[in-house]
Amino acid sequence: MSAPPAIALERVRKEFVKGERRVLAVEDVDLAVAQREFTAVLGPSGCGKSTLLNLVAGFDRPTSGRVLAGGEVVGEPSPARGVVFQEPALFPWLSVFDNVVFGPKTQGQPAAEYRQRAAQIIEQVGLRGFESHYPAELSGGMRQRVGIARVLILQPQIMLMDEPFGSLDAQTRTLMQELLLGVWERHQQTVLFITHDIEEALLLADRVCVMTARPGRIKKTIQVGIPRPRSIEVTTSPQFNRLRAEVFALIREESRRAATESARAASAG
């Protein structure tokens, strides 16, 4: 018998109720992510991508269906499922070092052990020399490095990343994507990566799940198949261009559908 998938979503549906209004965020989502697989979820804005991630993280419960991690139903958030948020969400009153060691420290791990690990990880994400800086003193890219470092130190089986580079400028984003490729090739966790950036998804992931407009469903899953180790150069290869054209057509269809539907809703309302 084979090992259970690292992440499994089974007929997941999530509806938010705000007063009188009900919003169906995702519906009928089936998704299995294998151990050590890097899966990107790609979709137009407002399609419920982040909802999926919050369900896997344990921040939210599905309205119906099941969310499993390592074969067990997801309950509370856990260090086994590390999350990198879109805003870095660092503790502004803690230094870079204290932000990075927050997890192991709060779990009561021995300081001698996690301090050494922290030094290594800080080195890997390129933050050496900034240990005693506060988040407010860092650039957006450096803050996100801290956001990644504090998850790596948890040694999670699963890393959940919610548009982590979405708010960075183009150059910094490329640098961070390369950094993530390097870090992932070293640590090899299962990654669920949420993004609306086609190139980012194709550059990083083994597999890209394209979502429909709301209510979000998985429209199509595409195997990327570009050999690793990858670098930013692969984005100019013919294979990459073919994949990009394919995904672009899928996304465009969904964005159009979303636009006409919201226009129809506006004229009806």
Partner 1 sequence: MLRAPWFLLLPLAFLALWHFAVAERWVVEGIIPAPAQVIDSWYTWIFGSAQASLSPYSGTWLANVTYSTRRVLQGFGLAAVVAIPLGLMIGWNRLVARVVDPSIQLFRPVPITAWLPFAIAVFGIYDASALFLIGLGAFYPVVVNTTHGVRDTNLLLLRAARMMGARPATVLGKVVFPSALPSIFTGLRLGIGVAWTAVIVAEMIAVKSGLGYVLWDAYYVGRMDICVATMFSVGLLGYLSDRVIVAASTFVLRWRALEAHE
Give the number of residues in contact with partner 1, rule: CB under 8 A: 25
Q: Do residues 135 and 145 make contact, with C-beta atoms less than 8 angstroms apart?
A: no
Residues 88 and 140: their CA atoms lie apart, in Å, by 8
> Alpha-carbon torsion 8, 231, 150, 193, what sign?
negative
In terms of Cα–Cα distance, which of 12, 3, 156, 10 is closest to 70?
3
**CA distances for 31 relative to 87, 220, 246, angstroms:** 26, 11, 21
Which span sits near partner 1 by CB under 8 A: 31-39, 62-70, 87-95, 174-182? 87-95
Piece of the chain touching partner 1 by CB under 8 A; list 61-69, 73-81, 116-124, 199-207:
73-81
Contacting range for partner 1; rule: CB under 8 A; set: 86-94, 171-179, 206-214, 245-253: 86-94
How near is the Cβ of 136 to partner 1 at its closest, in Å? Answer: 4
Q: Which stretch binds partner 1 (CB under 8 A): 117-125, 133-141, 235-243, 253-261?
A: 133-141
Q: How far is the CB of 83 from partner 1 (least distance, A)?
A: 5
Closest CA relative to residue 217, chosen from 48, 10, 33: 48
Q: Per rule CB under 8 A, is residue 137 in the interface with partner 1?
A: yes
* DSSP secondary structure string for all residues of 116-138: HHHHHHHHHTT-TT-TT--GGGS
Task: Report how far Cα 264 is from the mean position of its chain's Cα atoms.
Answer: 32
Q: According to the binding rule CB under 8 A, does residue 59 interact with partner 1?
A: yes
Shortest Å, Cβ 107 to partner 1: 5
- Partner residues linked to 38 by β-bridges: 191
- Contact letters for partner 1, residues 146-175 (x by CB under 8 A): ----x---x---------------------
Candidates 102, 115, 155, 235; binder of partner 1 (CB under 8 A) is 102
Distance between CA atoms of 140 and 253, rounded to whole angstroms? Answer: 33
- In the complex with partner 1, which residue's Cβ is closer, 102 or 130? 102
Give me the least distance between CB of 66 and partner 1, in Å please.
21
Please work out, in degrees rounded to the nearest 5, the angle formed at the alpha carbon of residue 239 by the alpha carbons of 236 and 244. 75
* Pick from 190, 161, 188: nearest CA to 8: 190
Among 26, 41, 47, 83, binds partner 1 (CB under 8 A): 83
Q: Which of 79, 126, 166, 182 binds partner 1 (CB under 8 A)?
A: 79
Contact segment (CB under 8 A) with partner 1 among 134-142, 175-183, 210-218, 237-245 equals 134-142
Does the footprint of partner 1 cover residue 130 (CB under 8 A)? no
